[in-house]
Structure 1
Amino acid sequence: MSTEELPRLGSATGRWILLATILGSSVASLDATVVNIALPRIGESLDTDVAGLQWTLNGYTLTLASFILLGGSLGDHLGRRKVFVWGVIGFALASVLCGVAVNIEMLVGARILQGVAGALLTPGSLALISSSIDQRDQGAAIGLWSGFGGVAGALGPFLGGWLIELAGWQSIFFINVPLALVVVLVTLKQVPESHDPNAAARLDIPGAVVVALALGALTFGLIDKMALLVVAGLLLLAVFVVIELRSDHPLVPPSLFASRIFTAANLVTFAVYAALGGVFFLLILQLQLVAGYSPLMSGMATVPVTLIMLALSAPAGRWAQVHGARIPMTAGPLLAAAGLVLLLRIGPDATYLTDVLPGVLVFGLGLSVLVAPLTGAVLGAVPSSEAGIASGVNNAVARTAQLLAVAALPGLAGITGSLGDPVEFDRGFGVAMWICAGLLMTGSLLAAVLLRAPRHTPTLDNVDCMPQCGVAGPALAPLHKTE
Structure 2
Amino acid sequence: MHATTDTLATTPAAQGGRSRWLALYTLCAGMLMIVLDVTVVNVALPSMQDDLGFTNSGLAWVVNGYMIPFGGLLLLAGRLGDLIGRRTVFLSGLTLFTAASILCGVAGSQEILVAARFIQGAGGALTSAVILGMIVTLFPEPREQAKAIGIYAFVASAGGSIGLLAGGVLTQAINWHWIFFVNLPIGLVTGLLALRLIEKDKGLGLGRGTDIPGALLITAALMVGVFTIVKPAAELGWTAGRTVALGLLTLTLLAGFIVREATAANPLVPLRIFKSRTLTGANLVQALSASGMFGIFFLGSLYLERVLGYSALEIGLAFLPTTVIMGLLSVRYSEKLITRFGPRKPLITGLALITVGLALFTQAPVGGEYVVHVLPVLALLGLGAGMCFPALMGLAMADVKPEDAGLASGVAGTSGQVGAALGLAVLATLAATRTTNLQSSGKPAVEALIDGYHLSFGIAAAIMALAVGIALTVMRPAKRDAEQETADIVLEAA
State the partner residue of 1:354: 372
Task: Give yes or no for the alignment of 1:265 onto 2:293.
Answer: no
- Taking the aligned partners of 2:129 and 2:422, their CA distance within structure 1 comes to 22
State the partner residue of 1:287: 304
The worse-fitting range, judged by mean Cα deviation, of 444-453 and 207-216 is: 444-453
State the partner residue of 2:177: 170
Contact 1:99 1:171 in 2 (8 A): yes
TM-fit CA distance, 1:211:
0.3
The worse-fitting range, judged by mean Cα deviation, of 102-111 and 283-292 is: 102-111
Seq. identity, %: 33
Post-superposition Cα deviations, 1:442-468, rounded to whole Å, max 9, x if no partner, equal 222232333312676999xxxxxxxxx
The worse-fitting range, judged by mean Cα deviation, of 94-103 and 107-116 is: 94-103
Q: Which amino acid aligns with 2:167?
A: G
Question: What is the 5 A alignment of 1:287-326?
Answer: 287-313=304-330, 315=333, 318-326=336-344
TM-fit CA distance, 1:7:
4.6
- Taking the aligned partners of 1:104 and 1:421, their CA distance within structure 2 comes to 28
Contact 2:131 2:409 in 1 (8 A): no
- Taking the aligned partners of 1:376 and 1:360, their CA distance within structure 2 comes to 24
TM-fit CA distance, 1:77:
3.3
Name the structure with the higher helix share. Answer: 2
- Taking the aligned partners of 2:172 and 2:361, their CA distance within structure 1 comes to 25
Post-superposition Cα deviations, 1:201-254, rounded to whole Å, max 9, x if no partner, equal 211111101100111111111111222111101110000001111123222121
Post-superposition Cα deviations, 1:151-200, rounded to whole Å, max 9, x if no partner, equal 86665443332111011111101111122222334445665432213776
Q: Which amino acid aligns with 2:262?
A: L
Task: Give yes or no for the alignment of 1:256 onto 2:238.
Answer: no
Task: Give yes or no for the alignment of 1:243 onto 2:260.
Answer: yes
TM-fit CA distance, 1:360:
1.0
State the partner residue of 1:92: 98
Post-superposition Cα deviations, 1:84-133, rounded to whole Å, max 9, x if no partner, equal 23212211221122222233333221111101111111134455667789
Q: Which amino acid aligns with 2:244?
A: A
Q: Which amino acid aligns with 2:255?
A: A
Which SS does the other structure have where 2:353 is aligned?
A: helix
- Taking the aligned partners of 1:340 and 1:324, their CA distance within structure 2 comes to 26
Which SS does the other structure have where 1:59 is aligned?
A: helix
Task: Give yes or no for the alignment of 1:80 onto 2:86.
Answer: yes
Task: Give yes or no for the alignment of 1:35 onto 2:59.
Answer: no
Structure 2 gaps, min length 5: 1-5, 234-242, 486-494
Q: Which amino acid aligns with 2:186?
A: L
Contact 1:56 1:107 in 2 (8 A): yes
- Taking the aligned partners of 2:56 and 2:253, their CA distance within structure 1 comes to 27
State the partner residue of 1:430: 454
Q: Which amino acid aligns with 2:256?
A: V
- Taking the aligned partners of 2:129 and 2:349, their CA distance within structure 1 comes to 30
Post-superposition Cα deviations, 1:33-54, rounded to whole Å, max 9, x if no partner, equal 4222222332333333432232
Contact 1:76 1:199 in 2 (8 A): no
Q: Which amino acid aligns with 1:396?
A: T
TM-fit CA distance, 1:136:
12
- Taking the aligned partners of 2:154 and 2:341, their CA distance within structure 1 comes to 29
Post-superposition Cα deviations, 1:316-341, rounded to whole Å, max 9, x if no partner, equal 56445554555444443332122123
State the partner residue of 1:26: 32
Q: Which amino acid aligns with 1:277?
A: F
- Taking the aligned partners of 1:144 and 1:371, their CA distance within structure 2 comes to 8
TM-fit CA distance, 1:81:
3.5
1:7/1:335 Cα in 2 relative to 1: closer, same or farther (>3 Å)?
A: closer
1:157/1:413 Cα in 2 relative to 1: closer, same or farther (>3 Å)?
A: closer
Task: Give yes or no for the alignment of 1:229 onto 2:235.
Answer: no
- Taking the aligned partners of 2:197 and 2:333, their CA distance within structure 1 comes to 35
TM-fit CA distance, 1:358:
1.1
State the partner residue of 2:492: none
Question: Which aligned runs of 4 or more in structure 1 are off by greater than 6 angstroms?
Answer: 129-138, 150-154, 416-420
Task: Give yes or no for the alignment of 1:158 onto 2:165.
Answer: yes
1:154/1:48 Cα in 2 relative to 1: closer, same or farther (>3 Å)?
A: closer
Structure 1 gaps, min length 5: 460-483
Which SS does the other structure have where 2:208 is aligned?
A: coil
- Taking the aligned partners of 2:61 and 2:160, their CA distance within structure 1 comes to 23
- Taking the aligned partners of 1:377 and 1:15, their CA distance within structure 2 comes to 21
- Taking the aligned partners of 2:460 and 2:209, their CA distance within structure 1 comes to 40
State the partner residue of 2:63: 57
1:82/1:263 Cα in 2 relative to 1: closer, same or farther (>3 Å)?
A: closer
- Taking the aligned partners of 1:344 and 1:447, their CA distance within structure 2 comes to 24
TM-fit CA distance, 1:438:
1.1
Task: Give yes or no for the alignment of 1:452 onto 2:476.
Answer: yes
State the partner residue of 1:477: none
- TM-score normalized by the length of structure 1: 0.82
State the partner residue of 1:179: 186
Which SS does the other structure have where 1:312 is aligned?
A: helix
Question: What is the 5 A alignment of 1:370-409?
Answer: 370-382=388-400, 386-409=404-427
State the partner residue of 1:211: 218
Aligned pair partner of 2:201 in 194, 197, 222: 194
Q: Which amino acid aligns with 2:455?
A: V
TM-fit CA distance, 1:71:
1.5
- TM-score normalized by the length of structure 2: 0.80
TM-fit CA distance, 1:417:
9.6
TM-fit CA distance, 1:138:
8.0
Which SS does the other structure have where 1:452 is aligned?
A: coil
1:423/1:326 Cα in 2 relative to 1: closer, same or farther (>3 Å)?
A: same
Post-superposition Cα deviations, 1:354-375, rounded to whole Å, max 9, x if no partner, equal 2210111122223233323333
- Taking the aligned partners of 1:19 and 1:436, their CA distance within structure 2 comes to 32
State the partner residue of 1:102: 108
The worse-fitting range, judged by mean Cα deviation, of 256-265 and 203-212 is: 256-265
1:133/1:54 Cα in 2 relative to 1: closer, same or farther (>3 Å)?
A: same
Task: Give yes or no for the alignment of 1:413 onto 2:421.
Answer: no
TM-fit CA distance, 1:435:
0.9
